[in-house]
Structure 1
Amino acid sequence: MILEGTVLRGRDFEPVEGRVVVEDGTIVDVEEASVESTDIVLPAFVNAHTHIGDSIAKEAGAGLSLDDLVAPPDGLKHRLLRQASAEEKIAAMRRSLQYMQAGGQAAFIEFREGGVDGVDAIHRALDGLDIEGVVLGREESEAMHAADGFGASGARDSEFGELREATREAGKTFGIHAGERDSDDITPALDLDPDFLVHMVYPEPSHLERVESEEIPIVVCPRSNLVTNVGVPPLRDLLDRTTVALGTDNVMLNSPSMFREMEFANKLTDATAREVLQMATVNGADIAGLNAGLVEPGRDAKLLVLDGDSDNLTGVRDPVRAVVRRAGHADVKQVVY
Structure 2
Amino acid sequence: MELPGTILAGEDYEPVEGRVVVEDGEIVEVEETATASTDIICPAFVNAHTHVGDSIAKEAGRGLSLDELVAPPDGLKHRLLEEASREELVESMQRSLEFMEAGGTTAFLEFREGGVAGVEALLDAAGNLDVEPVVFGREEVEVLDVADGFGASGARDADFSAERKAAHEAGKPFGIHAGERDAHDINSALDLEPDFLVHMVHAEEIHLERVEDSDTPIAVCPRSNLVTGVGVPPVADLLERTTVALGTDNVMLNSPSMFREMEFTAKLCDVTAPEVLRMATRAGAEIAGLNCGVIEPGREARLLVLDGDSDNLAGVRDPVRAVVRRAGVDDVADVISP
Q: Could you say whether these structures have the same fold, taking a TM-score greater than 0.5 normalized by the shorter chain as the test?
A: yes
2 CA distance for matches of 1:227 and 1:203? Answer: 19
Q: Which position in structure 2 is the counterpart of 1:304?
A: 304
TM-score by length of 1: 1.00
Q: Which position in structure 2 is the counterpart of 1:84?
A: 84
Q: Which position in structure 2 is the counterpart of 1:22?
A: 22
2 CA distance for matches of 1:225 and 1:317? Answer: 32
Report 1:133-148 matches (<5 A).
Answer: 133-148=133-148
1 CA distance for matches of 2:271 and 2:10? Answer: 19
Instruction: Kindly report the root-mean-square deviation, in angstroms, between the aligned alpha carbons of the 2 structures.
Output: 0.4
2 CA distance for matches of 1:45 and 1:146? Answer: 24
Tell me the CA shift for residue 127 of structure 1: 1.0
- Superposed CA offset, 1:138-195 (max 9, x none): 0001112210010000000011001101100100010000000100000000000000
Q: Which position in structure 1 is the counterpart of 2:263?
A: 263
Report 1:37-116 matches (<5 A).
Answer: 37-116=37-116
- Superposed CA offset, 1:266-316 (max 9, x none): 000101111000000000000000001010000000000000000000000
Report 1:177-326 matches (<5 A).
Answer: 177-326=177-326
Letter in 1 for 2:281: T
Letter in 1 for 2:170: A
1:82 alignment partner, SS class: helix
Report 1:146-185 matches (<5 A).
Answer: 146-185=146-185
Tell me the CA shift for residue 324 of structure 1: 0.3
1 CA distance for matches of 2:209 and 2:84? Answer: 43
2 CA distance for matches of 1:248 and 1:85? Answer: 25
2 CA distance for matches of 1:91 and 1:104? Answer: 20
2 CA distance for matches of 1:301 and 1:229? Answer: 38
Letter in 2 for 1:153: S
2 CA distance for matches of 1:51 and 1:15? Answer: 33
Letter in 1 for 2:201: V
Letter in 1 for 2:269: T
1 CA distance for matches of 2:203 and 2:314? Answer: 41
- Superposed CA offset, 1:175-225 (max 9, x none): 000000100000000000000000000011110001001000000000000
1:16 alignment partner, SS class: strand
1:298 alignment partner, SS class: coil
Letter in 1 for 2:315: G
Superposition misfits of 4+ residues, deviation over 3 angstroms? none
May I ask how many residue pairs the two structures share in their alignment? 337
1:209 alignment partner, SS class: helix
- Superposed CA offset, 1:6-60 (max 9, x none): 0000010000000000011100000000000000000000000000011011000
1 CA distance for matches of 2:96 and 2:225? Answer: 20
1 CA distance for matches of 2:125 and 2:167? Answer: 24
Letter in 2 for 1:215: D
1:60 alignment partner, SS class: coil
2 CA distance for matches of 1:136 and 1:234? Answer: 25
Unaligned runs of 5+ in 2: none
1 CA distance for matches of 2:286 and 2:57? Answer: 31
2 CA distance for matches of 1:183 and 1:301? Answer: 39
% same residue? 72
2 CA distance for matches of 1:212 and 1:125? Answer: 37
2:301 alignment partner, SS class: coil
2 CA distance for matches of 1:256 and 1:169? Answer: 32
Letter in 2 for 1:194: P
Letter in 2 for 1:286: E
- Superposed CA offset, 1:212-253 (max 9, x none): 010000000000000100000001110000000000000000
TM-score by length of 2: 0.99
2 CA distance for matches of 1:173 and 1:262? Answer: 26
1 CA distance for matches of 2:45 and 2:39? Answer: 17
Unaligned runs of 5+ in 1: none
